[in-house]
Every structure is written in C-alpha cells, then in structure tokens.
Amino acid sequence: MVAFANILVGGVFHAAVLFLVAAGLQLVFGVQKIVNLACGSFYALGAYFGITFIGYAAAAGMSPWLILPGLIVAGILLGFIGPPIERLLRSVYGRDESFQLLLTFALVLMFQDVFRFIWGSNPRSLDSTYLIYGTITSRDFSVPVYNLLVIAAAIATAVGLGALLQRTNYGRTLRATAENRAMAEALGVDVRRVYSVVFTLGAVLGTTAGALVVPTAAASLDMAIEFVIEAFAVVVIGGLGSMRGALAGALIVGLIRAYSLVLYPELEVLAIYIIVITVLLFRPAGLLGRPVV
Amino acid sequence: MKLPHAAIVAIAGTAVLALLPLVAPPYYASLMVPFFGYAIALLGFNLLFGYTGLLSFGHAMFLGFGAYGAAVVAGVFGIKSFEAVLVLVTLAAMAAALPIGFLCVRYVGIFFGMLTLAFGMLFHSFLFKFYHLTGGDSGMRVPRMNILGLEFAKYNKIEFLAEPFYYYCLALLVIAGLLMWRIVHSPFGLHLRAIRDNARKAEYLAVHVRRFRLAAFVISAGYGAIGGAILGFRVGLADPELVYWTQSGQLVFMAVLGGFANFFGPIVGALAFTLLQDQLQSLTQYWRFILGAILALIVVGFPGGIVGLAEGLRRRRARAA
C-alpha cells in the first residue's frame, strides 16, 4: 500500500512533465497542423538552460528557495526562440506532411549539436538543491515537496490553458484558426501572428517542462529524442490536437511507466507502444479526439 | 526515349562503382558497403514512399529484422552461408510485414506514419529490454559468413569487405535495382502510382487499394531486411540503435536528399549521405548540425533533392542550347 502511493506520486510527476510537453505538441498540431518533432529539443533546451540559469542565479546570491520560480522564469525566457523557428517552418505550411516532419527532424539534429557545443557531451545536473522544499514522510512513504509543486504547476498550466482556449476572445480566435484557417483569415484574423504566438506558446510549454524536471533528473543529449517519442505516445493515446487528450494520455503513460518499472521492468516501454498501437487501430482519433473522417 | 537514358545512367553508375575498389584505398571501398545496404533498403522504402505515397517512419524496423536475423541465423543456428541468410531474413521480414502492414495500410498520411513509428518503437523496446534474448543494448554479434560458398579466409575483415564483399553487394544492388525497375514499370507499379495520385479514383476503377498498398509494404520490408543484413555483416553487430526512430528518420532523410520522385534518387541519396557523413565526422564532432542544416535547406529550397537539382540544370541547359 505504501509502495503503491510512492509509485503513484512518481507516475503523476512524470505525467505532469509529459503533459506540459504534449500540450505544446497538441497546440502546435491543433492550430498549425504540424507534428513538431523538435518539441523534445525544446524540452532538452529548457533543461540545460535551467541548469545554467540557476547556476548564475545562485552565484548572484539567489535564495535556494527561489529555485522553482527561477526555473519557470528560465523556461519562459526561452520563448524568444519560438518566432524565428516558426518563421523557418512557414516555408512548409500547406506542403506534404513528410516535408514538415523532415524539417522538424532537421531541427532535432541541429539542436542536439547545439547542446553538445554549449554544454558538452556529459550529462549535466543540479545537485539536490530541490530537497530544500523538504520531503513529506510518513513511515515508508516519502515524497519530495518539489515534485508535488511541479504537479501543482502542471495542473495550474492545464487550467490556465483551458481557460485561455475556452473563455477568452483570443482563445476563440485560436480555435477558429484551427478549425478553418481560410475562413478565420477572411474574418480578419491575423493568421501569421496567431501561428507565431501558438508556436512560441508551444515552445515555452516544452522549455518550462524541461527546466522544471532538471532538479530531479540530469540533462543529457539523448533526452530530446527520448522524450519526444514519449510525448508522441501521449498525444496519440489522447488524440491528436486535443488538450484533454494530452492530459489523459500523459496520466496513462506516466502511470504505466511507473508501475511497470516496479512490477515488470521489461514491459516498461513495450506496454506504452502496445497501447499506442491498440488506440490507433481501434480509435485512430485517440481516446478524446474527434473522429477522423 | 526515357528508358535508354535510365539505362545509360544505370550502366555508367555500375561501371564507376565497379572500378572504385581498383583506384580507391580499401578504407573507402569498405565504407561503400553500408552505402549498398542503405541503397537496397531505400529502393524498397521508395516503392512505399515515392511510388505509393506512404511515408513510413518506422522503416528501420526492417533493417533490424535483417541485422538481427543474420545474427540469429548465422550466430545462433550456425548457418554460415550469406545467401541462405539473405533468403531467410527476407522471408521472415516479409512474413512479419504482412500482419503489420495489414494493420498499417488502413491509414494514410500522418496516421500511417505514426502507426509504423509505433511498431518500430515496439520492436526497438523489445530488442532493448529482453536482454536474455537479444543482448539488450549491447546487441547480438553477427559472425563472418561465406559468400557463394567461398570462405575468403586469407583476407582480413577490411580486405574482405573492400573486395569480394564489395562486388557481392554491388551485384546485389544491381539485381535488386533491376527487380525494382521491373516492379515499378509493371502494371502493378502503375496501380501503385494511381493509388498515390488519387486513391479514391483508383478505387472507382476497381483497384483494390489496400491490397496493393499492403503488397508494396511487404516488398519494401523484404528490401529493408536485405539492406539490414548487409549493414549487420559489415559492423559485425546487430544493435538496437539500428531500429531506433532516428534511424527511420535517417532513411527518410536519404530518400529526400537524393530525390524520392526519381527511381535513382534514393540510391544517389544513400551515396551522398554515406560520403557526407563520413567526411563530416572526420572534420568535426558537430556533424549532426551540418547534416540537419543540409536537410532543412533541401526541404525548404530543393524538394527535388540532388537528382531533382541535376535534372533542373540539365533541362535549363537543354533550353539554352
């Protein structure tokens, strides 16, 4: 029972991070119809930059208690890379999916070497400063408060995104553009600007997720290509383009990983892809997506 | 008009490749072995991508079938004849591709890509996690095999790869290319192109769309396994990295680099990629960045790839003359 709770929190923590990256993927796919393989690279970028940022901030005398807000700021600061990359992607809008996939794949390759150039090939990590927030312990059960704070931040992001998309005028504009680009443009929506904003928002979700995860795990060169494939599993299970789907998918993948690691490690990744394939075969639109025609 | 031109290109290309080991140092000749492997795999890949219009993002799975198949057949069962290995892995890959393809070809576009990606990653995680069966991340050893029943025992590995095995692979590529040429220019190939250009119309004309897509998928799987067996033989190892999704991305990269709209495009792409990667790797540790930049440049500016570029130049010169 105690182990159960430990695994549960671990799984939900993983799901929270996955959700942030997958939400970025969904946003970009929903509005721009592009599967952005580089979202894993944004995640890795956030992780590396988070380490550097916290290093400088600590040297400048930042209280270790500010590590969580500091990392969020680091993630958001990276938003500036969104517009130029979106500018590059503009050349493949409306072209064959293979070209869109390949262009983002090219970004993945380039980012990997940018990381190698700036941060070197060895994994980098923050030492366990995040434990400053303390640990909740009762008998065998123990969970770092930091992990709970990250889960809370992800929930807040989910609520915020939902409110933005459903309740605000700008959200209506985004949804209208996703629904019918030409019609939205005819009604006076500045689609170029919307695309730029959406892509940047998607990038920030990824970089923030990476920054938040870095106190608990090292940043490495492989994290981008490993994480994007997991985020991809999340959006396929949840349904391409669906925000609620990203949430459900992230929980499913996060919990399955956590439990299978304990129960039957061989199945860890295997189980996820079996679910992905099952979902694609029986409900290609995903659990919460709209049916594809 | 079209056929003689293609024949000239093919014969000239084969002649250049045949002369290469005589002039180039053995290192370069052995470097060409992976090129042959990729080129054969890409011939099959392009039947699916260029001719049928289905982008598989999990095609490295079949390279894995070839390499691991060679490791199992030659290493575990001790069948040291490479021909037998090729036949067995091709049949195994095609047999595996039948149910996988049956499930995948129900979709097109991005969903087909995702489903193949998922199957590829499923296979990868099987290879990676089931350590006692597959050796996990350290992979399985692919022993040296004999070709055409000859041992070539006096050659060391590099010499063997640079001379007998080089010509062997060249012959395989020529056979595979001729066969693919026949497939593409048969009524079957025409059906595939009709499906690519307008699947609904093809269906109205009584083409069994899914069955044809499945056939293309299965054939491309067989080609992939042959390519994978060559790759595995060269390195002497079958490891899960060969099946990872980035490897599938690399196959798409090569096809687009050469130009998937042309029959010879994938072969040119495999050649350009192999040479480029080798040169860049010896120049800088940041070769991925340069490859990525080249890929981005091609996608944005030259979607026809190298062959498309060359044809454009030829046409312009013809117009000027």
For chain A, domains (ranges, CATH) are 2-282 (1.10.3470)
A65: Cβ–Cβ under 8 A, 6 or more apart, which residues? A132, A133
User: Which residues of chain A are modeled with pLDDT < 70?
Assistant: 1-2, 128-129, 290-293
Tell me the residue type at A101.
L
How many beta-carbon pairs below 8 A join chains A and B?
120
Which residues 146-205 in chain B show a CB within 8 A of chain A? none
Where b means 16+ CB within 10 Å and e means fewer, A211-244 reads: bbbbbbeebbbebbbbbbbbbbbbbbbbbbbbbe
Interface contact B126-A270, CB threshold 8 A: yes
Contact with chain B for residue A265, Cβ under 8 A: yes
Q: Which residues of A touch B252 (CB under 8 A)?
A: 98, 101-102, 105
Segment (H or E) for B237? strand B237-238
The residues with which A142 forms a beta bridge, in sequence order, are: A137
B258: Cβ–Cβ under 8 A, 6 or more apart, which residues? B42, B264, B265, B266, B267, B268, B269, B270, B271, B272, B305, B306, B307
User: Can you tell me the distance from the alpha carbon of B137 to that of B52, in angstroms, rounded to the nearest whole number?
Assistant: 34
Q: Give the distance from residue A114's alpha carbon to the nearest chain B alpha carbon, in angstroms.
A: 7
Give whole-number Cα distances, B63 to B29, B54, B227, in Å.
21, 18, 6
pLDDT at A42: 93
Chain B residue closest to A286 (CA)? B111
Answer for the pair B34, B198: CB distance below 8 angstroms, yes or no. Answer: no
Answer for the pair B224, B47: CB distance below 8 angstroms, yes or no. Answer: no
Q: Which residues of A touch B287 (CB under 8 A)?
A: 113
Answer for the pair A78, A212: CB distance below 8 angstroms, yes or no. Answer: no
Q: pTM value?
A: 0.88
Chain B residue closest to A35 (CA)? B110
The pLDDT averaged over each successive group of 10 residues in chain B (321 residues) is 72 86 82 91 92 90 92 87 90 93 86 88 88 82 82 77 85 92 91 89 87 93 93 88 89 90 90 90 88 90 87 85 70
pLDDT at A18: 92
User: Can you tell me the distance from the alpha carbon of B213 to that of B195, in angstroms, rounded to the nearest whole number?
Assistant: 8
Q: Which of A104, A267, A273 to mutate to test the interface with B (most CBs of B within 10 A)?
A: A273
Neighbouring C-beta atoms of residue B198, cutoff 10 Å: 12
Q: How does DSSP assign chain A, residue by residue?
A: -HHHHHHHHHHHHHHHHHHHHHHHHHHHHHHH----TTHHHHHHHHHHHHHHHHHHHHHTT--GGGHHHHHHHHHHHGGGGHHHHHHHHGGGTTS-HHHHHHHHHHHHHHHHHHHHHHH-SS-B---SGGGGG-EEEETTEEEEHHHHHHHHHHHHHHHHHHHHHHHSHHHHHHHHHHH-HHHHHHTT--HHHHHHHHHHHHHHHHHHHHHHHTTTS-B-TTHHHHHHHHHHHHHHHH-TT-HHHHHHHHHHHHHHHHHHHHH-TTHHHHHHHHHHHHHHHH-TT-SSSPPP-
pLDDT at A2: 58
What SS3 state is found at B183? helix
Chain B residue closest to A269 (CA)? B125
Q: Which residues of B touch A109 (CB under 8 A)?
A: 288-289, 291-292, 295
Interface contact B288-A280, CB threshold 8 A: no
Neighbouring C-beta atoms of residue B148, cutoff 10 Å: 11
Sign of the CA dihedral running B184, B187, B188, B191: positive
Which residues 205-264 in chain A show a CB within 8 A of chain B? 225, 229, 232-233, 236, 240
CA dihedral A167, A211, A102, B272 (to 10 degrees): 170
pLDDT at A293: 42
Interface contact A106-B117, CB threshold 8 A: no
Which residues 122-141 in chain A show a CB within 8 A of chain B? none
The residues with which A135 forms a beta bridge, in sequence order, are: A144
Q: Give the distance from residue A100's alpha carbon to the nearest chain B alpha carbon, in angstroms.
A: 8
pLDDT at B1: 46
From the list A110, A225, A281, the residue facing B292 with the nearest CB is: A110
Q: Give the distance from residue B136's alpha carbon to the nearest chain A alpha carbon, in angstroms.
A: 11
Q: Give the distance from residue A49's alpha carbon to the nearest chain B alpha carbon, in angstroms.
A: 19
pLDDT at B267: 92
Interface contact A270-B57, CB threshold 8 A: no
Q: Give the distance from residue A26's alpha carbon to the nearest chain B alpha carbon, in angstroms.
A: 14
How many angstroms from the chain centroid is the CA of residue B7? Answer: 21
Interface contact A274-B299, CB threshold 8 A: no
Q: Give the distance from residue A110's alpha carbon to the nearest chain B alpha carbon, in angstroms.
A: 4
